[in-house]
Structure 1
Amino acid sequence: MALQQRHRILSHFPNIAYNIVAIGASAGGQKPIIQILSAIPADFPAAIIIVQHMNPVYPSRLAHILSRHTALRVEQAKSGEIVRPGTIYTYVPNQHLVVGANGQLSLLESPKMNFVRPSVDKLFMSVGLNYRMRAIAVVLSGFGRDGALGVMAIKKYGGMTIAQDESTSEYFDMPKAAIDTGKVDFVLTPEAIAKSLCSLVMTELVA
C-alpha cells in the first residue's frame, strides 16, 4: 500500500530525479529566498514549498512578494491542495505546513515545535517521509535550530540537503545547526543554491 501511495504522489510529475524542494528560513531569510527563486527558470519541473518564521499576528505577503520575482506560479498553501510541478507554495502564519502520503498539503494548528509554528522541521520530516530520495531540503538564514532534525530526516530517507553559507547568511544559526548534524550535502551561496537546484532537478531519469 505504501508503494502504491508513493507511486500516486509521483505520477503527475515528469520523469525527474527530484520532485519536491522544501525551503526553511527565519530572520534574514526573505532576501536569499528571492535570490534563489528569481534565478530559477519557468520550466523548473519540481514543486517548491517554503516555510519561514514570521510574526503570527500579521498575514503573510510572501506569495505576493515572490510572484514579482519569479517566473514560477506562486500560491499560499491551502489544506487539501495536491502539490503540483512548477508551483511555489508559501506558508500560512501560525500553522504548520506538511505534505501527506497522497501529496496533499495540510495546515495544522498542532503544538509549536522548536518554539515556532510553522516549523521547518515539521515540513522537512513530512517531505522526507513521503518523497524520500526525490526530496531536497534547503536551510537558509535564521535564528535557532529549526530545520536540523528535518535535515536528518531528509537524509534518513535518501534525499538531498543544502544549507546557506555563513558569508551570505544574515543569521547563521539555522544553517549552522543543520551543518553541525553532519547531514548537509552542500553549503552554498544563494546564487549557487539556485544553480544546484536547477542542475539536480532538471535532469531526466534514464528509463
Structure 2
Amino acid sequence: MNSLAPEIVVVGGSAGSVSIIIQLLEQLPETFPFALVLVIHRQKSVPSEMDKVFGFSSKMRVIEPNDKDFVVPNRVYLAPQNYHLLLEQDRTFSLDYSEAIHYSRPALDPAFESAADVYGPRAVGILLSGANQDGSQGLAYLVQRGGRALIQDPQSCEFPAMPLAALQVVSQAEVVKPADLNNRLFSL
C-alpha cells in the first residue's frame, strides 16, 4: 500500500463531470500540499471560460498553464482547450498539439501517463463521469508506476462509460462517491 503523500493530483472528466469538479473546488481548503491538475474534455470550436467558472468555485485562482510553466503545489491548473497537457521530468508543463485521443484534446490518458512517469508513487489520478473510454489506460499506467487511483462510483455518474471502462483495467482503484471525494483525497 502506497503511504507517500501526493505531490500531484490529476482529475480527469468529460460529460457530467463539471458539477463534481465544482463541488471538489468549493470544498478545497485554502492551502493544500499538492498541485491539482484538471483535464476536462471540451469542444475545441466553442470559446471556453471554464477557468473562470471553476475559479468562482475555488478559493484559489484556476490557471491555464503555458508551455514550460513550473508545476507548483497549492495551485489549481486547468488543461488549456485544444491541447494535451503533459508533465515533464523537470516538473514543468508541456502543451502538445498532437492528434486527438478518444476524439479529445486535451485527453486524459496522456495526462495520467505523464504524471505517472514524473511523480510515480506521489501521483494520484481521479477519473470522473464521461461518455467514452479515455482515462482508463492512463489510470492503469499510473497505478503500475505506484500511483493511486480514485474512480467516481459509476452509479453516481451522469455518464458512467469512463469509470466503467477504468474499473475493468484498474482493479486497484478505489471507487468513491462524489460526496466523499474531498475527504478521501485529503486522507491519502
1:1-207 equivalences in 2 (<5 Å): 17-200=5-188
Structure 1 contact 40–198 (Cα < 8 Å) conserved: no
- Number of corresponding residues: 185
- Name the SS of the counterpart of 1:133 in structure 2: helix
Structure 2, unpaired ranges of 5+: none
Cα distance in 2 for residues equivalent to 1:150 and 1:164: 16
Structure 1 contact 129–153 (Cα < 8 Å) conserved: no
Structure 2 contact 16–157 (Cα < 8 Å) conserved: yes
- Name the amino acid aligned to 1:117: R
Shift of 1:111: 1.2
Sort the Cα spacing of 1:128 and 1:30 in 2 relative to 1 into closer, same or farther, 3 A: same
- Name the amino acid aligned to 2:112: F
- Name the amino acid aligned to 2:15: A
Structure 1 contact 151–183 (Cα < 8 Å) conserved: no
Sort the Cα spacing of 1:144 and 1:83 in 2 relative to 1 into closer, same or farther, 3 A: same
Shift of 1:59: 2.8
- Name the amino acid aligned to 1:128: A
Shift of 1:58: 2.0
Cα distance in 2 for residues equivalent to 1:83 and 1:199: 22
Cα distance in 2 for residues equivalent to 1:129 and 1:183: 20
Cα distance in 2 for residues equivalent to 1:180 and 1:169: 16
- Name the amino acid aligned to 2:8: I
User: Which shows bigger deviation, 40-49 or 129-138?
Assistant: 40-49
Cα distance in 1 for residues equivalent to 2:9 and 2:60: 13
- Name the SS of the counterpart of 1:199 in structure 2: coil
- Name the SS of the counterpart of 2:187 in structure 1: helix
- Name the SS of the counterpart of 1:162 in structure 2: strand
Q: Bigger radius of gyration, 1 or 2?
A: 1
- Name the amino acid aligned to 1:28: G
- Name the amino acid aligned to 1:173: A
- Name the SS of the counterpart of 1:187 in structure 2: strand
User: Which shows bigger deviation, 110-119 or 24-33?
Assistant: 110-119
> TM-score normalised to the size of structure 1?
0.86
Root-mean-square deviation over aligned CA pairs:
1.2
Structure 1 contact 49–89 (Cα < 8 Å) conserved: yes
- Name the amino acid aligned to 2:19: K
Cα distance in 2 for residues equivalent to 1:103 and 1:168: 34
Cα distance per residue 1:152-186 (max 9 Å; x no partner): 11111100000001232100001111111134421
Structure 2 contact 136–170 (Cα < 8 Å) conserved: no
> TM-score normalised to the size of structure 2?
0.94
- Name the amino acid aligned to 1:108: D
- Name the SS of the counterpart of 1:28 in structure 2: coil
Q: Which runs of structure 1 show a deviation greater than 2 angstroms over 4 or more consecutive aligned residues? A: 182-185
